[in-house]
Amino acid sequence: MKYEINAMSIYEFGQRKDKDGNPHQEDWLYPQLGAIDNTSDRMFILCDGMGGHASGEVASSTVCEAMSNYVNNAIKSGDDFSETILKGAIASAYDLLDSRDNCDSNEKKMGTTMTFLMLHNAGYTIAHMGDSRVYHIRPNNGSVDDIVFKTEDHSLVNDLLKVGEITPEEAENFPRKNVITRAMQPHLEHRHRADIHYSNDILAGDYFFMCSDGMLEQTSDANLCFILNENISDKEKINMLKNVSENNKDNHSAHLIHILKVSNEQINVAEDHPKQQEKGITLHKNNDFNVKRQSSKRPSNNPNNLTTILLLCVILLFGAFYAVRYMNKKSTESDEVKEEIVNNKKTEKRTLPYKQKIISERKTIEKDSVKQNTKTDVVKKDTVKQSIQTDTCQKKQNK
């Protein structure tokens, strides 16, 4: 990809004063304010320093210097921008911080946030540590829906928000809002990792906005999207951003990069594919970072896709297992019913002769009972006749 851009910067002191009462600025920019060349500059770095024995501006300027020199030297030597170059630039910045650190081990060390944007042949790459931010905004309706991507702050207040300890409203006035959980500092036992995002989803009209946390004191995401969606020049947009931040307490800085034109070309890109969770770096895949020679896309081994496939396989196996189990159960029940029917038939066959014998005996008993009753009736009749005859004889005698 080839780009035409219009980039501008903001570099303000705010109300920050040093111990002598002079305006104090600990942010650092690459390219520096007023030094951007829109025809050649495709790398932008912004760092927000934290004070200490050597002061924060030393840390922020050191990281900007080391990373920009490392990447520029690699590209000048003929290398295409790759993940290896990015890791080397971050390591180089840590090394230079170590060499410039003259702070006693018991004192508070200097440190800095880091935000990095590179427009390269395969798209763009963003890296960051701390609470400085990078936005990718595609103006459409002037709302937060225009945000294509936004970095996630490495800060105490953001961690508390994620676990539900505080509400977004409480976060606005949180007393320790400036406490960050990840930064670049010298002589760390375990160097903090950078979150990295890369994508080839970039269109003409898009904006990239890089800023330190001081820039956002009076500017919400909604306000930022509204300003960038206004039908005014980039210079006027920069002035609007300056106006809304002029009363900020903290010093602040920003890069605003407007993508004017994007041309897609088949080009050679270093085949140096990033891996998830490597030491010293965290990678968040969005689209393919590197593409094959003479090819616009290559298959992606996205861990999320692999996880989905494995999950579907497990579900299918469980489904097949329970289906077989269900069929076996039905088959067993059917066999039991058949067996019961057969047993009943056998039982009926065995008991039938006995039933017939009992029926026959009952019929015989009934016949005998009828005969006996008949005999009894005859005897009764004879008795009646004899009684009548006796009565008649007695009457005759009496006469």
- Picking from 241, 189, 235, the residue whose alpha carbon sits closest to that of residue 210 is 241
pTM over 0.85: no
Give per-residue pLDDT as tens, 74-100.
999 999 999 899 999 999 999 999 999
DSSP-derived secondary structure letter, 312: H
Give per-residue pLDDT as tens, 176-230.
888 999 999 999 999 999 999 999 999 999 999 999 988 988 889 999 999 999 9
Helix segments in 173-267, DSSP class H: 221-229, 234-245
CB 158, CB 207: distance < 8 Å: no
Residue 35 CA from chain centroid, whole number: 39
> How high is the mean pLDDT of the chain?
80
Which amino acid, 42? R
Architecture of domain 2-301 in CATH?
A: 4-Layer Sandwich (3.60)
Alpha-carbon distance of 208 to 31, in angstroms, equals: 15
Q: What pLDDT does 158 receive?
A: 93
Give per-residue pLDDT as tens, 224-283.
999 999 999 999 999 999 998 887 777 889 999 999 999 986 444 444 444 433 434 444
pLDDT at 107 over 50: yes
Strand partners, 17: 23
- Tell me how far CA of residue 307 lies from CA of 197, 304, 369, in angstroms: 20, 5, 90
